[in-house]
Amino acid sequence: MSQDARVETFVTAFEALRAEVEKVIVGHREIITHVLTSMFAGGHVLLEGVPGLGKTLLIKTLAEGLELSFSRVQFTPDLMPADIIGTNIIVEDGDGRKHFQFQQGPIFAHILLSDEINRATPKTQSALLEGMQEGAVTVGGVSRPLPAPFFVLATQNPIEMEGTYPLPEAQLDRFLFKLRVRYPAIDELNAIIDRTTRSQQVTVSRVMSGPTVLSFRELIREVPIASHVRDFASTIVMATHPSWASSPEVTRRFVRYGASPRGAQALVLGGKVRALAEGRYNVSVEDIKALATPALRHRVILNFEGEAEGVDADTLVGQVVEAAEAITASGKEVFLR
């Protein structure tokens, strides 16, 4: 298959999957695109939004559109790591001998929906760490690989914070994107009412298999990126660090810790998916700019002043991107002078 055909196949599959999800989910096109981008980039997504905006429905619909196994875990304060990973239980064989057998937990699925992830204790939240990063879990000293592709979609509610355990930075950093689900517009709300109050139910077709997703992931990593685009992504990440010499004033004033190298990886990998989804063979500066907010908003830790001033991470990242643009443009773009 020629390269053009491979890219064309990806674009078609991407559009088809998005169309299937959009059969159920009204609006939120950008959220859906980012979720698909994250899935093809091999990352995980944290969806944040108030109840009733369709976060869980979006993920369930996506799972229905893929020929992949799906598990859902409702995170609660009494949930234990073994409830997610699984545990060894004693079983008796035909000869009457007893032995330990590993009983897989819900994490052993292609798509794992961690609903209201911030309601579980940090101990339970940490049970996901190894699986999200390594694609494997260790139980009783034995490492057990998770099925590929493995994709965690977590949701959290930003307003009911009582009795919750905010995700630690190490856990947040493992999510490729953090997406904020906004309230729908009035026409979208009307469409939601129409779709959900009728007798006929919408059926979602399975348009993509697991191996297809894996092959697309390989294709995505072949997308070339120019050095100045890569420099731009690095500059954005560095500009979130208050200790960096060229970081903007807003970072120095409000940020305690900047984004990790995973942030730069998220920008570039996401940029590659975005480019390919648009039928382009290379990553552009615009791709990086478009993904900066979802990729970095959860990786920038505000300091006390930032928290006290109520600084919005999205606004801060936007200003960081502008600063990075000015930094990378100096000496390169103004060569006429």
- Interacting residue ranges for another protein, rule: CB under 8 A: 2-4, 7, 219, 222-229, 280-286, 332-333, 335-337
What is the C-alpha separation between 190 and 184, in angstroms, rounded? 9
Rounded to a whole number of angstroms, the minimum distance from the CB of residue 220 to another protein is 10
Task: For another protein, give the closer residue by CB, 159 or 335.
Answer: 335
Task: For another protein, give the closer residue by CB, 33 or 251.
Answer: 33
Rounded to a whole number of angstroms, the minimum distance from the CB of residue 151 to another protein is 24
Q: Which two tokens stand for residue 286?
A: 């615009």
What single DSSP character describes residue 242? T
Rounded to a whole number of angstroms, the minimum distance from the CB of residue 8 to another protein is 10
Task: For another protein, give the closer residue by CB, 178 or 274.
Answer: 274
What is the C-alpha separation between 208 and 205, in angstroms, rounded? 9
**Residue 44 CB partners (closer than 8 Å, separation 6+):** 38, 132, 151, 152, 153, 154, 174, 175, 176
Q: Which residue has the tokens 């159920």?
A: 24
The backbone region for 140, taken as left when phi is positive above 0, alpha when psi lies in -120 to 50, beta otherwise, is left
Rounded to a whole number of angstroms, the minimum distance from the CB of residue 333 to another protein is 7
Task: For another protein, give the closer residue by CB, 304 or 335.
Answer: 335
Rounded to a whole number of angstroms, the minimum distance from the CB of residue 215 to another protein is 13
What is the C-alpha separation between 220 and 90, in angstroms, rounded? 44
Task: For another protein, give the closer residue by CB, 3 or 143.
Answer: 3
| Nearest alpha-carbon partner for 74 in 88, 62, 59, 61 | 59
